[in-house]
C-alpha cells in the first residue's frame, strides 16, 4: 500500500540537477519521494521519515548538515560508480550504509571514451564546424588528424571501465599498455593483448593516446601534472573520462598551449561546468563534453534501478548488492 512505502529524499525532478521525468518514475515505484526543496520547507517534520537518500549527479550533497536532519536514515544510495563526493567513513560512522552502481555504467562509459578518442584524433568537431560554416566554399585539404589504427593506447586505471576500453580498442589494432595499482591476471592481459607498465612514466613516454580511467582518490588527485604531461609525446592525446581532479588543469592548459601534447578530450573537468572564462574553453585542441559518459536512456534507467534496489535493501536491513565498504 502507498502508506507503507518508505520515504526517500532526492534532489529534484527536472530542473538543473534533477532527474528526468521518465527516470523519476523508477524510485516512485518503491519509495515515497520528497524533493530537497520541499524537505527544506519543514526539515523537522520531514526529516525523521526519511530512510534513504538517493543521490543523482552529486545531489543532494550528503554533508553533515543534511545528515544531521535525517535521524532515521539507513542508506545513502548514489547513482554512478564514482564515490569521491561521499565521505564514506563519516557516513558509516552514523550507522548509515553507502551504495553505488558499478558495472551498469561501464559499457556506456567505455563507448564514450572511444568516441572522444576518435573524435579528437580525427578532428570531427572541427570538421563539422567547417562543413556547416556559412563561409566554407571548398573542402579543406589540410584538416589532418592522427592515425588511430595501429597506434599505442596507454590506459591508466584498468578496472572494469579501463578493461572495456581495452576490449574496444583491440578492433582498431591498437597496442595496449596499462598502468594500475594491481596487475591483472595473465588471462585478462592476453585476452586484450595488454602490456602491464609498472612505471607510469614508461606508459606516458610510449603512448599515442593516454586514457585516464582511474577512481578519484587522494592518491590519484593531480596524478597527471606538468611532469607527466612533459613525458608524453608531442603527438599524443590525453583523454579523461574519470574525474577532473585527476589532472592538474593549469598544467594541462600550458601543455596544450605550448604543444607539449597534441590535444585533450575531456568528459570531466573541475569544476563542472568550468568558469566561462577558463582557458580550456577556448583552446583549439581541446574537446570538452559535459559529463555525459553514461548518458543513454538505457544506462541512466539501469543506474536508477540499481540505486533504488540498493536503497530498498538498505531500508529493509538486507544485504546491499553494491555496498561501498572501505578497507
Which entry of 243, 262, 302, 309 is annotated as an active-site residue? 243
Given the complex with another protein, which of 151 and 220 has the nearer CB atom?
A: 151
- Residues 6 or more apart whose CB falls under 8 angstroms from that of 91 comprise 62, 67, 76, 98
For the segment 122-141, give every residue that binds another protein (CB under 8 A): 122-125, 127-128, 130-132, 134, 136-141
User: Smallest gap, in angstroms, from Cβ of residue 31 to another protein?
Assistant: 20
Between 260 and 289, how does the x/- string for binding to another protein read (CB under 8 A)?
------------xxx-x----xx----xxx
| In contact, 185 and 164? CB cutoff 8 Å | no
Cell match 526539515: residue?
43
172 binds another protein (CB under 8 A): yes
The Cα 295–Cα 108 span in angstroms is 7
User: Smallest gap, in angstroms, from Cβ of residue 325 to another protein?
Assistant: 28
The Cα 32–Cα 37 span in angstroms is 15
* Sole binder of another protein in the list 95, 171, 284, 319 (CB under 8 A): 171
- Residues 6 or more apart whose CB falls under 8 angstroms from that of 46 comprise 7, 34, 38, 39
Q: Has 272 been annotated as catalytic?
A: yes
148 binds another protein (CB under 8 A): yes
304 binds another protein (CB under 8 A): no
Q: How many CB atoms lie within 10 A of CB 258?
A: 11
Query: Cell numbers at residue 222, please?
Result: 593531480
Closest to 114 measured CA to CA, from 202, 213, 250, 20: 213
Radius of gyration of the chain (CA): 22
* Sole binder of another protein in the list 246, 300, 304, 307 (CB under 8 A): 300
Report how many residues bind another protein under the rule CB under 8 A. 67
295 binds another protein (CB under 8 A): yes
Which entry of 179, 262, 291, 302 is annotated as an active-site residue? 291
Helix axes 106-121, 297-316, angle to 10 degrees: 150
86 binds another protein (CB under 8 A): no
* Sole binder of another protein in the list 84, 111, 160, 323 (CB under 8 A): 111
The Cα 249–Cα 280 span in angstroms is 8
Query: Cell numbers at residue 146, please?
Result: 592522427
Q: Has 243 been annotated as catalytic?
A: yes
Cell match 542508506: residue?
75
Q: How many CB atoms lie within 10 A of CB 23?
A: 18
User: Smallest gap, in angstroms, from Cβ of residue 302 to another protein?
Assistant: 10
149 binds another protein (CB under 8 A): yes
Given the complex with another protein, which of 93 and 137 has the nearer CB atom?
A: 137
* Sole binder of another protein in the list 6, 7, 10, 19 (CB under 8 A): 19
The Cα 181–Cα 179 span in angstroms is 7
Given the complex with another protein, which of 222 and 279 has the nearer CB atom?
A: 279
Q: Which residues bind another protein (CB under 8 A)?
A: 16-20, 57, 107-108, 110-112, 114-116, 118-119, 121-125, 127-128, 130-132, 134, 136-150, 167-173, 272-274, 276, 281-282, 287-292, 295-300
Catalytic site positions: 243, 272, 291
Amino acid at each position: 500500500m502507498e502508506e507503507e512505502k518508505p520515504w526517500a529524499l532526492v534532489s529534484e525532478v527536472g530542473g538543473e540537477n534533477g532527474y528526468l521525468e521518465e527516470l523519476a518514475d523508477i524510485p516512485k515505484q518503491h519509495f515515497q519521494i520528497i524533493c530537497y526543496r520541499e524537505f527544506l520547507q519543514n526539515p523537522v517534520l520531514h526529516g525523521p521519515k526519511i530512510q534513504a537518500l538517493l543521490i543523482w549527479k552529486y545531489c543532494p550533497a550528503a554533508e553533515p548538515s543534511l545528515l544531521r536532519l535525517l535521524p532515521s536514515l539507513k542508506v545513502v544510495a548514489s547513482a554512478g560508480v564514482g564515490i569521491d563526493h561521499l565521505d564514506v567513513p563519516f557516513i558509516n560512522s552514523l550507522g548509515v550504509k553507502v551504495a553505488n552502481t558499478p558495472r551498469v555504467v561501464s559499457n556506456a562509459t567505455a563507448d564514450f571514451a572511444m568516441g572522444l578518442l576518435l573524435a579528437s584524433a580525427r578532428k570531427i568537431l572541427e570538421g563539422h564546424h567547417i562543413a556547416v560554416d556559412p563561409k566554407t566554399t571548398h573542402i579543406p585539404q589540410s584538416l589532418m588528424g592522427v592515425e588511430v589504427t595501429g597506434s599505442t593506447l596507454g590506459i591508466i586505471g584498468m578496472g572494469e571501465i579501463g578493461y572495456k576500453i581495452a576490449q574496444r580498442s583491440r578492433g582498431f589494432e591498437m597496442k595496449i599498455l596499462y598502468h594500475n595499482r594491481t596487475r591483472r591476471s595473465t588471462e585478462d592481459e592476453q585476452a586484450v593483448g595488454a602490456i602491464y607498465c609498472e612505471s607510469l612514466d614508461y606508459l606516458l613516454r610510449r603512448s599515442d593516446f593516454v586514457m585516464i580511467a582511474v577512481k578519484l582518490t587522494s592518491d590519484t588527485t593531480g596524478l597527471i601534472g606538468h611532469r607527466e604531461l612533459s613525458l608524453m609525446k608531442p603527438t599524443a592525446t590525453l583523454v579523461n573520462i574519470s574525474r577532473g581532479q585527476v589532472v592538474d588543469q593549469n598544467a594541462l592548459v600550458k601543455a596544450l598551449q605550448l604543444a607539449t601534447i597534441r590535444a585533450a578530450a575531456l568528459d570531466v573537468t573541475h569544476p563542472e561546468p568550468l568558469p566561462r572564462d577558463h582557458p580550456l574553453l577556448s583552446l583549439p585542441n581541446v574537446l570538452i563534453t559535459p559529463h555525459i559518459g553514461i548518458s543513454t536512456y538505457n544506462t541512466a534507467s539501469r543506474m536508477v534501478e540499481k540505486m533504488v534496489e540498493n536503497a530498498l535493501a538498505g531500508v529493509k536491513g538486507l544485504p546491499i548488492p553494491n555496498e561501498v565498504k572501505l578497507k
